[in-house]
Amino acid sequence: MTVIDHTTVTTTAATSAAASADATNNAPVRTLTEIVLPDAVRDAIGEQLAALPDPTTDIDLAMARYHQIFAGLPIGILQQMLDFGRHIDTAGVGYVRNLPVDRGLPDTPSDGGPSRDKASYVAEGVLLGLTGLLGEPVGFLTEKRGQLVHDVIPVAGGSMTQTNQGSTVFLNFHNDIVHDSIGRYDVSNPDFLVLSCLRADHEGVAATYYADARDISRALDAGTLETLRSPVFRLNAPGSYVREVAGGNDVLSDPVPVISGPDDSPEISVSANGVRAMTSGGQAALDRLQAACREVAHEVFLRPGQALLINNRKGLHARSQFTARYDGADRWLQRTYVRRNQWSIRYRVTPDNRRVHF
């Protein structure tokens, strides 16, 4: 496991988490990339973002303005971020540090957000500015009511759930999927997530993990990998859909493989709300998959001014347990769902907002 905090990067014995070998030429491919903004760049971007209003009042205008601002990044950093979103052979997760922050924050919302007391929108500008370098922010009505900026906050009633409201249980390795009436939950799901930290948890122990499918595949035996590449699994719909639309009943996808695509650029799909194996061998493969994720995962302790760029197709992410106090000072992240192309999901767009989908 690669352990990362705001000052160090340490790799333990299993070096497959730091680099994955290309199947064709055995060249190492790093599955995590680090990006650090110079202080002067951070301050210049922060000053411009602090002068802007709430982006949700006119999201298209806001995104155009963020493009202008983030185009001022040093060319090497700008290319690194653009390439992250463009190419199949790049890292699956980017760790961005020394980002601008709001000068003051209100209490962490107790209801999961959004906050009605924020006086500035630097955090939202950072989140959406990074998003614009990868694609376009999109929303789904069954996830945070279609909001484009998601507040990821522990909520007392959801502390034990496999959702972004949880805290007292380990949030298993998964990627963010969306229910789809076509029976596939891995088609219209986000291509990327951006996770940005506004406030860390009290003890600073909440970790975010990322396991790249290339590293996972290398850690699995051939039989397990063959099973995971077979269409003998059904993904459960997200917890928000099951809770709010399906009356608490599971809504399973059509049979699908968990891992698909070329050996050197696999895609992986796992629902946080559960995957149902259709065979006993399939269940054993799922158990081995979660173990492999823990073996190869990058571990990051996010702090204010830091963000993760997560490829939602190249890998799986997870979150450790932490203690929520519900005192206004709990952990507070913001998240976007990012699509490279909205054309292929136009069949589910809502009539009132072209960025929000059923």
What are the binding residues? 317
Contacts of 64 (CB under 8 A, 6+ apart): none
Using the structure block, give the residue that is written with the tokens 């995957």.
275
Question: Which parts are annotated binding residues for Fe cation?
Answer: 317
The two structure tokens encoding residue 160: 């034990």
Q: How far apart are CA 205 and CA 302, in angstroms?
A: 9
Q: How many CB atoms lie within 10 A of CB 31?
A: 28
The span from the CA of 43 to the CA of 266, in Å, is 39
Task: Residue 260: name the closest of 220, 229, 223 by CA.
Answer: 229
What is the spatial distance between Cα 33 and Cα 80, in angstroms, rounded to a whole number?
A: 9
- Contact criterion met (CB below 8 Å) for 245 and 354: no
Q: Which one, of 209, 235, 226, 222, lies nearest residue 260 by Cα?
A: 226
Cα dihedral 213/214/215/216 (nearest 10): 40
